[in-house]
Amino acid sequence: MKTLISIAVLMGTAVLSLPAAAQFAKAEDAIEYRQGAFRVMAHHFSRLGAMANGKAPYNAAVAAADGDVLAVVSKLPQAGFVAGSDKGKTRALPDIWKEEAKFKDLYEKMVAETAKVATAAKSGSLDQLKASFGPAAQSCKACHDEYRAK
């Protein structure tokens, strides 16, 4: 049984790390998927930012709910950056596919920083939310500066 579970885990890992292209019928689908996920992420992240920056009243319950969504959704767009999806209705720059390791690093930095925002958002502490927000916003900007058309 233990062996079976190990095999299942290994297979799971293998499939999850297959070229993401396998997940989408065509490049356009991948573009729409990543844009959809970024759109959702931006909404919840912006709402947390408004609280962090005093532009909206702090509400612990709303912040916690936004944090929950952010933690899940921030991981999703990466799978949409499949080979061939630099063309079409996208602002993603071709360098993403030329500098995959660097793009991956920046992406993972963003996931790590937004995870800290999610934790802070669920802490009930506005001070923690404020402290976490800046580095996360910077991690978004770092990638946009390099890899998103102006």
79 close to 20: Cβ distance less than 8 angstroms: yes
d(CA 120, CA 126): 8
Closest C-alpha to 113, from 149, 142, 147: 142
Q: Binding segment for a copy of itself among 66-74, 86-94, 99-107, 110-118 (CB under 8 A)?
A: 66-74
Q: Please list every residue from 17 through 36 that binds a copy of itself, using CB under 8 A.
A: 23-24, 29, 32-33, 35-36
What's the CA gap between 136 and 15, in Å, rounded?
29
Choice between 84 and 135, CB closer to a copy of itself:
84
Chain contacts with a copy of itself (rule: CB under 8 A) = 8-9, 11-13, 15-16, 23-24, 29, 32-33, 35-40, 43, 47, 59-62, 65, 68-69, 72-73, 76
